Amino acid sequence: LIQRSCTERGWSLPSPPYRSACQLHTLGTNNDTEPQARRFVTMKVLYTCGYSTSLAALLLAVGIFSCFRKLHCTRNSIHMHFFTSFILRGTAVFIKDSVLFSDKSIDHCTMSTVTCKAAIAFFQYSVLANFYWLLVEGLYLQTLLLLTFTCDRSYTWGYVLIGWGVPMVTVGVWVLTRLQYDNHGCWDDTSSLYWWVIKAPILLAIFVNFLIFLNVTRMLAQKIRSPDLSKTHKQQYMRLTKSTLLLIPLFGVHYVVFALFPEHVGVDARLYFELVLGSYQGFLVALLYCFLNGEVQAEVRRNWGKWQRSMESNVFNLATQDFTA
């Protein structure tokens, strides 16, 4: 516990100092801290591999959606924004690690530079964008079911404002609040009351997504049971909904569970879910929305076959020219 006193000359120095309070040996004996330190190192290696794998998969998925003209549509455009939010999140994690933990001679607890605060702000923005683009995926799916696949393109700008605009406004308010009322450290603490400026919008997005999950499930059950619906349309509904219905509970359940407890409760489990398992979420998204998508697979195979035929034709023309010569 660290405290400061309000005096006539302003806030007193922290007591005990951050440097003393944050030393690892205060948590236990050397025998206790060595396994803990090794566990954190192992965890960092795992989430570094996870984010690297996710970034590679997401960049490939964005490249596929961008290169093939037949895949250009509102649905895949939303997927690409969702992929981009994961790319930003993985990049933000690497930037945050390089700024905060690259130099072991610098005490992380007393660091209070503009660079580290900017890194934390960028990280919080990428996390918020991640959750709000998942919300957009849910909203778009519900709109498709309500409008029976006649979704207007005019909704696209609204989705962009929700996915990128709401996180930007939220982080802007959080930054101004920290600058005004709690401008100490590197802003990476979650025990401050102002942390709810970030936490509350995330919980709101998860709650709305859960309601969408229930509503879409109800609508889907009604449409599938409808005798007037053709088999083709039933398959189309199932293909459009299975990925999003899987991702909505997967992304939010652990966050809601941990949100019900104080930040110091279940730290190891919280770190494991948010860092290790969370680092592979981008790979899972690319897998569901791109690599396992039948439409994408068919387009890739078609273009691959076209390229092979083109190469064979070029080789044949070269051989013919050599023979003629």
% pLDDT > 70, the chain: 72
pLDDT tens digit sequence for 119-161: 999 999 999 999 999 899 888 888 877 775 555 566 788 899 9
In this predicted structure, the answer to whether residue 319 has a pLDDT above a threshold of 70 is no
Highest mean pLDDT among 151-160, 175-184, 265-274: 175-184
**Range in 34-38, 39-43, 63-67, 246-250 with the lowest mean pLDDT:** 246-250
For the beta carbon of residue 141, count every other beta carbon within 10 angstroms.
25
* Full set of structural domains in the chain with CATH: 39-295 (1.20.1070.10)
Which residues touch 109 (CB under 8 Å, ≥6 apart)?
18, 19, 21, 22, 185
pLDDT tens digit sequence for 60-112: 999 999 988 888 888 889 999 999 999 999 999 999 988 887 766 666 666 77
pTM of the complete model: 0.78
Which residues touch 159 (CB under 8 Å, ≥6 apart)?
78, 81, 136, 139, 140
Give the pLDDT of residue 16. Answer: 79
In this predicted structure, the answer to whether residue 186 has a pLDDT above a threshold of 80 is yes
Tokens of 97: 């690690």
**Range in 105-119, 137-151, 196-210, 270-284 with the lowest mean pLDDT:** 137-151
Give the pLDDT of residue 19. Answer: 67
Give the pLDDT of residue 68. Answer: 85
